[in-house]
């Protein structure tokens, strides 16, 4: 059993040219006209994204043609598998016991 993880959110290099995050959508109101703009991360990929560092996301409002950036962070870390967590248990079963 792992008792401790040291440095579990490190500077990470993944070398991924295009990262698609399926099911992730960023809902943001246009700062100018308050129109809701949705950035769909399963369609707009991130290009060689940095991990555990702020990343700028480009937004464009079709209503008033405003452009702006918002910051997000991709966290890549190491965690132990908690046996009591049913979500994690499901993922482990799917991965190893097909």
Q: Could you list the residues that contact Zn ion (CB under 5 A)?
A: 30, 32-33, 35, 61, 63-64, 66
Query: Closest distance between Zn ion and the C-beta of residue 30, in Å?
Result: 3
Query: Closest distance between Zn ion and the C-beta of residue 31, in Å?
Result: 8
Measured from the CB atom, is 14 or 33 closer to Zn ion?
33
- Residue 49, number of CB atoms within 10 A of its CB: 18
Measured from the CB atom, is 17 or 63 closer to Zn ion?
63
Sign of CA dihedral 13, 14, 15, 18: negative
Residue 96 DSSP one-character state: H
């Amino acid at each position: 059993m792992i008792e401790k993880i040291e440095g579990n959110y490190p500077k990470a290099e993944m070398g991924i040219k295009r990262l698609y995050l399926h099911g992730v959508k960023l809902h943001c109101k246009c700062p100018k006209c308050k129109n809701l703009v949705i950035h769909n991360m399963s369609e707009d990929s991130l290009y060689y994204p940095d991990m555990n560092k702020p990343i700028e996301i480009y937004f464009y409002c079709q209503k008033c043609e405003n452009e702006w950036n918002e910051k997000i962070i991709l966290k890549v870390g190491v965690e132990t598998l908690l046996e009591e967590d049913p979500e994690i248990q499901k993922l482990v079963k799917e991965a190893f016991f097909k």
